[in-house]
Amino acid sequence: MAESNEQKVSGLLQQGLELYGTGDVARAFLIWNEVLEIDPGNEEALDYMRDADRRAKPRGDAHRMGQSSLIEEARRLLRAENEEAALELLSSAPEGGSLEGEAMIELLRATLFQRYRDELGDLRQVPRMVGEAAELQGRNLPPSAGFLLSMVDGSTPLADLVSVSGMDRFEALRSICRMHRAGILEWDGA
Amino acid sequence: MSRVIGIDLGTTNSCVSVVENGQATVIPNSGGYKTTPSMFGISQDGKRLVGHLAKRQAITNARNTVFAAKRLIGRRFDDPEVQKSIDLCPYEIVRGPNEDPRIKIGGKTFTCPEISGIILREMKRVAEEYLSETVQEAVITVPAYFNDTQRQCTKDAGKIAGLEVLRIINEPTAAALSYGMNRKGDEKIAVYDLGGGTFDISILEMSDGVIEVLATSGNTFLGGEDFDRRIVQHLVEWFEETEGMDLRGDTMALQRLKDASEKAKCDLSMRDAVEINLPFIASDSEGPRHLNYELTREKLESLVYDVVEGTLKSVEQCCVDAGVQAQDIDQVVLVGGQTRMPLVQSRVTEYFGKRPHKGVNPDEVVGLGAAVQAAALLDNDNDMLLLDVTPLSLGIGTYGGHFARLIERNTTVPVSKGHIFTTTRDDQSAVKIRVLQGESDLAAENDLLGEFVLSGIRPAPKGEPEIEVSFDIDANGIVSVSARDLATGKEQSITVSSTGTLSDTEIDEIIQEHDLYEVQLKD
């Protein structure tokens, strides 16, 4: 990991811990997720999250924000141009979120969808894995990412990968983008 | 002159070959694979997928992915084979307007020749890309037991793909051809064909260049995929034991397990053990879970031993039907990728008491034989003499529900035989003729190829008019019927319109639709 990223990760870990200390668990999770974006598999972030999750469980959804503060926080994240975090936050709300929240989710998905499309570029590009699949096991990837990775064979273009994954198109593009950013996937011209 | 390709249109995989500089060669697809899965699917975003891409969504989008359409082609909807497919296949099979089975995926209903046509079109495209020229003609292989309707439907599929099918030949015949067995003396050949989804055993008799199918047997629902399923089942159980997580309901995990199992199975034909690594196969609150397992050849053999033994029971039955003993067989030919498995080879060797032929890849051997036949059709100087025989007797339904054989089973094709019909009532102006194929003495137990009404018979007392009806079976094993009033010389053109086949208009409509789709794809 580059030195600048190491500093950023260290800062974010501290920030997340402070937020957690003040009881703002949701935002602490967002920050730790940011760490995992930069350094998938970061043990410290994973430990904090597991610990926080374990402590939160007996209290059920008590750690969750109220609907209005959730939207307020999402707006703050949007102002900071952190749409991905805003979407994650809103999507983490329990079933039956507010209409405003649902509208924001739709809007964010549309915005991010276009962003992922732009980021990926020409979908005829053929992705390759950087390194061996076995080397990735220390990282924290969801099964859907593992599934996408299993179809990367050095001859299947991005467009076909998305099509045959059977995943929601948005989710597939997001997953590919994240793996690209994390240096797991590469392709010519990227 | 453009080249003629040979296509092995398999239940699970297809293979295209051509003769270049006197040598039959398998043409690899753009991914470098020499076989292409006979699969067609529509992705969740509406994209049409053929071959490997379709296979990749076979589990995650099972309702919209068609495999093994060959089991359905040319059959009636009520056929037990079709009913079994309905029970086993995740995609929807519906009754067509001609009592034929049709496949409904992605909101559209496809005929079986159309699905096979899509696969053939892909094989044509693979060949054209490789040869850098347009291909218009092909030889296509079919199982030896295919009846007229199944052969006709396969020919229709070729037409839909934009191919003129010069010849349809039997798969075991093609396998024998690729080994040049037609050039040898009289002998008996066993063709053991264990493909991805079907198992066929054929006993052939070669005599003066004529290949006669003495008997065929097998199981249309047994193949390499059963081996894969056994491995998947084992891995799922092992993962549940070691990790406490059940993967059975997770389609993404199952798709990965299926792909990995197939690969491990293939690798174990050359190695004693393989590592199966599936990172991020599942996750829970503790984080991601990985599946890392070493599968040994010994373990694989214990998982599938009974399946292999099951094939030998069919071999035994086939020998009985052919009236031969295992030791009477002069040559054994292995066909189908699954015969690469050392256990299969050793059990077949033990059964026949002789080593099977080696030298040609078992999953390419049929396609190569088709290419050899294709080249021979173009080459007038070629001294190859190859004649197939009709696999089933041809005849008509007669009074009392009986079956009158007009062309006996195992008659060398092409063949033409005439029969005189007359009327049973005074001034009868028309007769209804039911054309059947099969071996039962009862009409109802044979396959109805079609029925037609011969009209316009001149008014006369019963028994007086003489109408000659000619039954022809061409070199492809396809039946046609023509009729002539001997008194007037008036000839009537009769088309046997079978239930499963498509009319020319239907075929043209399908071709046009697919042509439009081709344009859509290129955009």
Contact list in B for residue A29 (CB cut-off 8 A) is: none
Scored b (16 or more CB within 10 A) or e, B382-392 reads eeeebebbbbb
- Which DSSP string do the residues of B420-432 spell out, in sequence order? EE--SSTT---EE
Predicted pLDDT at B521:
42
Place of tokens 């495999």: B67
Same domain, A75 and A23: no
For residue B499, pLDDT beyond 70: no
Higher-confidence residue of A133 and B521: namely A133
Q: Categorize the per-residue pLDDT at B392 as very low, low, confident or very high, splitting at 50, 70 and 90.
A: confident
Same domain, A146 and A175: yes
In angstroms, rounded to a whole number, what is the distance separating the alpha carbons of residues B210 and B60?
Answer: 47
Q: Which of A145, A151, A166 sits opposite B280 (nearest CB)?
A: A145
**% of chain B residues with pLDDT over 90:** 54
Same domain, A103 and A58: no
Asked if A134 lies within 8 A of B56 by C-beta distance, the reply is: no
Question: How many domains, chain A?
Answer: 3
Question: Nearest C-alpha of chain B: how many angstroms from A164?
Answer: 5
Could you tell me the fold of the domain covering B224-302? Actin; Chain A, domain 4 (3.90.640)
In angstroms, rounded to a whole number, what is the distance separating the alpha carbons of residues B27 and A34?
Answer: 49
CB B477 within 8 A of CB B146: yes
pLDDT tens for each residue of B315-359: 999 999 889 999 999 999 999 999 999 999 999 999 999 999 877
Q: Which of A50, A136, A151 sits opposite B279 (nearest CB)?
A: A136
**% of chain B residues with pLDDT over 70:** 93
Same domain, A3 and A56: yes
CB B254 within 8 A of CB A108: no
Is this complex scored with an ipTM above 0.85?
A: no
Same domain, A2 and A38: yes
Same domain, A143 and A113: no
As to burial, measured by CB atoms within 10 angstroms (0-12 exposed, 13-18 middle, 19+ buried), residue A28 is: buried
Q: Last residue of a domain, which of A120, A145, A165?
A: A120
Give me the domain span that covers residue A163: 128-186
Average the pLDDT over A17-39 and give the result. Answer: 78
* A134 has a chain B CB within 8 A of its CB: yes
pLDDT tens for each residue of B460-471: 888 888 888 888
* Homologous superfamily assigned to B394-489: Substrate Binding Domain Of DNAk; Chain A, domain 1 (2.60.34.10)
Higher-confidence residue of A12 and B433: namely A12
Higher-confidence residue of B277 and A19: namely B277
For residue A58, pLDDT beyond 50: no
* CA distances to B12, B39, B121, B159 from B124, in Å: 17, 15, 5, 12
Same domain, A12 and A43: yes
- Give the closest residue to B357 by CA, choosing from B214, B159, B192, B139: B192
For residue B432, pLDDT beyond 60: yes
Same domain, A49 and A95: no
The size of the A-B interface in CB pairs under 8 A is 83
Residue ranges covered by each domain of chain B = 1-179+360-386+501-523, 224-302, 394-489
Give the residues across from B68 on adjacent strands: none
Predicted pLDDT at B128:
96
CB B352 within 8 A of CB B318: no
The tokens for B18 are 């051509």
Q: Last residue of a domain, which of A79, A97, A120?
A: A120
Asked if A133 lies within 8 A of B256 by C-beta distance, the reply is: no
Same domain, A13 and A33: yes
pLDDT tens for each residue of B28-44: 998 889 999 999 999 98
Higher-confidence residue of B181 and B420: namely B420
Q: Which of A163, A170, A178 would best serve as a mutation to test chain B binding (most B beta carbons within 10 A)?
A: A163
Helix, strand and coil percent figures for chain B, each rounded to 5: 35, 30, 35
Q: Catalytic: B70?
A: yes
pLDDT tens for each residue of B116-144: 999 999 999 999 999 999 999 999 999 98
Architecture of the B1-179+360-386+501-523 domain: 2-Layer Sandwich (3.30)
